[in-house]
Amino acid sequence: MQRTTGRLADGREIIWYDADGTRRVAVPDRRDLAQATSTSQMRLDPLTDEWIAVASHRQSRTYMPPADQCPLCPTTDGRLSEVPSSDYQVVAFENRFPSLSTYLDDTSVTNLEGLEQTRPGAGRCEVICFTSSHDTSFAQLSSAEARLVVDAWADRTRDLSGIETVQHVFPFENRGVEIGVTLQHPHGQIYAYPFIPPRALTELTRAEAYAAEHDSNLFGDTIKAEIADGSRVLIDSSEWIAFVPFAARWPMEVHFYPKRQVPDLPGLDDAQRDDFTAVYLDILQRFDRAYTPPTPYIAAWQQAPVREHREQAWLHLELYSVRRAEGKIKYLAGSESGQGAFVNDGLPEQLAERLRDAAS
């Protein structure tokens, strides 16, 4: 993998990722942009002890532009975009409208006393474009193209983990208008949080309690249990297993685990990265075949925090969709939104069977 770094007109970093042997030079950004700044602030919810990001500047972010005005496509003679080069394979850059940022103005203060605690939203949010082709999707990438994205995820995790304020790195993809996507170009995001987010912390503290009680790894035992049961397993390959979880929350949900424990994306070796691309592309294509329109989804990497809770951590990807039937969406209504208590309208075993039937 070849890595080329540059700067956008407002000072944000951009990184091009290319297959070995590609010759690239960082292209200057010709736009007239003011220096990047952010008003991001963190506020602690005293009832849940969870940090909430407040980023009011995001209200003005770009929303559903037509394809010929997409800011994630390469720059052309007649249109300057977020990517100043005329082509790219994979590219990552700091988000112009970040929830968390290293470019903070002086309005955010630190107050860690009382009920109204605040701190600056000092992290980083990046956009990662999977391909320069606008009218495609991750599922349509070749194995080599998908592998380059995996390598870029690992590289960004390594780099972002070196930022002093960052405690957790979270790569993810939102796909589809039903999810709330505001740009149609195939892309994902990477959040580098100044705290460990609730979902990751819950999984890891549960794994630590399980290890103390059973002297075993919760994630590893989950893999063994799914293989032994078999009814929810979709793919059992040499390096990875993909299955619908026993207690699936979402109407479509698949988890991907490497069979050998690694804490994070940089920990994956070549064999694990190659095998993942084949398994992941297969399942994404099944998602798209399961219903008539392309399936909206969220793909969320769960990996070890930067400095804590690393011993029991086992890298995995959680893929899920709000599509519950042809033309029907699962909304997070009273129970889910009000109490965080999920109700799934279908049996995980039946979903597994549907996705097995969708295999090519």
Which CATH number is 55's domain given?
3.30.428.10
Residue 345 has a pLDDT of 87
Give the count of beta carbons closer than 10 Å to the beta carbon of residue 178.
17
Say whether 187 is catalytic: yes
| Lowest mean pLDDT, pick from 11-15, 110-114, 137-141, 222-226 | 110-114
- DSSP label at residue 59: G
Residue 72 has a pLDDT of 97
Quick: pLDDT tens for 136-175.
999 999 999 999 999 999 999 999 999 999 999 999 999 9
What is the pLDDT averaged over residues 263-269?
98
Specify whether 289 is located in the same domain as 155: no
Residue 67 has a pLDDT of 83
Specify whether 188 is located in the same domain as 70: yes
Give the count of beta carbons closer than 10 Å to the beta carbon of residue 149.
25
Single residue among 160, 195, 230 that ends a domain in this structure: 195
pLDDT band at 213 (very low <50, low <70, confident <90, very high): very high
Specify whether 276 is located in the same domain as 158: no
Between the alpha carbon of residue 90 and those of residues 143, 144, 198, the distances in Å are: 14, 12, 30
Query: 121-140 burial by CB neighbour count: b if 16+ within 10 A, else e?
Result: bbbbbbbbbbbbebeebbbb
Specify whether 211 is located in the same domain as 165: no
Specify whether 31 is located in the same domain as 15: yes
- Domain around 254: 199-357
Token digits for 317?
């990807």
Quick: pLDDT tens for 106-131.
667 889 999 999 999 999 999 999 99
Specify whether 7 is located in the same domain as 111: yes
- Mean pLDDT score of the chain, rounded to an integer? 94
Single residue among 195, 222, 257 that ends a domain in this structure: 195
Residue 77 has a pLDDT of 87
Distance CA 249, CA 247 (A): 6
Nearest by Cα to 138 from 262, 22, 276, 327: 276
Most confident listed range (169-183, 222-236, 326-340): 222-236
Specify whether 14 is located in the same domain as 139: yes
**Edge-to-edge strand ranges of the sheet holding 41-45:** 50-54, 41-45, 118-120
Residue 85 has a pLDDT of 97
Residue 106 has a pLDDT of 66
Specify whether 184 is located in the same domain as 67: yes
Orientation of helix 270-290 relative to helix 348-357, angle to 10°:
90
Q: Mark the binding-site residues for Zn(2+), compressed into ranges.
A: 70, 73, 134, 185
Helix (H, G, I), strand (E, B) or coil at 301: strand
Quick: pLDDT tens for 23-41.
899 999 999 999 988 888 9
Distance CA 228, CA 222 (A): 10
Residue 325 has a pLDDT of 86
Specify whether 294 is located in the same domain as 350: yes
Specify whether 169 is located in the same domain as 211: no
Single residue among 144, 172, 195 that ends a domain in this structure: 195
Specify whether 180 is located in the same domain as 141: yes
Question: Based on the structure, what is the number of domains in the chain?
Answer: 2
Whether the pLDDT of residue 227 is over 70: the answer is: yes
Whether the pLDDT of residue 301 is over 90: the answer is: yes
Whether the pLDDT of residue 60 is over 60: the answer is: no
CB 168 within 8 A of CB 195: yes
| List of residues 6+ apart from 300 with CB closer than 8 A | 170, 172, 317, 318, 319, 320
Helix, strand, coil percentages for the chain (3-state, nearest 5): 30, 25, 45
Return the half-sphere exposure (C-beta side, CA atoms, 13 A cut-off) of residue 351: 26
Residue 22 has a pLDDT of 87
pLDDT band at 63 (very low <50, low <70, confident <90, very high): low
Distance CA 45, CA 141 (A): 41
Active site residue: 57, 168, 187, 316, which one?
A: 187
Q: For the residues of 200-268, what is the DSSP string, one character each?
A: HHHHHHHHHHHHHHHSS-HHHHHHHHHHHH-TTEEEE-SSEEEE--TT--SSEEEEEEESS--SSGGG-
Specify whether 165 is located in the same domain as 230: no
Token digits for 307?
């400095």
Nearest by Cα to 314 from 246, 253, 277, 259: 259
| List of residues 6+ apart from 317 with CB closer than 8 A | 255, 256, 280, 299, 300, 301, 302
Distance CA 134, CA 72 (A): 8
Give the global pTM: 0.95
Contacts 24+ apart (CB under 8 A), 43-49: 43/116, 43/117, 43/118, 44/117, 44/118, 46/115, 46/117, 48/198
